[in-house]
Amino acid sequence: MRMRIRSVGVALRFAESVLSAPGQRHARRNAWAAVCENREYAADRRHDDAVAGTGTPTAGRRIR
């Protein structure tokens, strides 16, 4: 693979992308795992609220 480097900035961006690629992949996997965990937690809470009978539209809100 032959690549023509036109400036120092391009060379630095290329080096950064090559060196940080594995770390970015790892960070994306961690972020996605956190999203999935939060979705499961929210689904469990909705289920528990429905079973307990507190899943009403006004749950957690002040009624004036």
Tens of pLDDT, residues 3-61: 676 888 888 888 888 888 888 888 889 999 999 999 999 999 988 888 887 655 555 55
Q: What is the pLDDT of residue 33?
A: 96
| Beta-carbon contacts of residue 55 (< 8 Å; ≥ 6 apart) | 46, 49
Cα 31 to Cα 3, 5, 27, 35: the distances in Å are 33, 33, 6, 6
Query: Cα(10)–Cα(59) distance, rounded to whole angstroms?
Result: 55
Higher-pLDDT residue of 53, 2 = 53
If you ran DSSP here, which 8-state letter would residue 53 be given? T
Query: Cα(43)–Cα(36) distance, rounded to whole angstroms?
Result: 11
Yes or no: say if 11 and 5 are a contact pair by the CB < 8 Å rule: yes
pTM for the structure as a whole: 0.48
Q: What is the pLDDT of residue 13?
A: 84
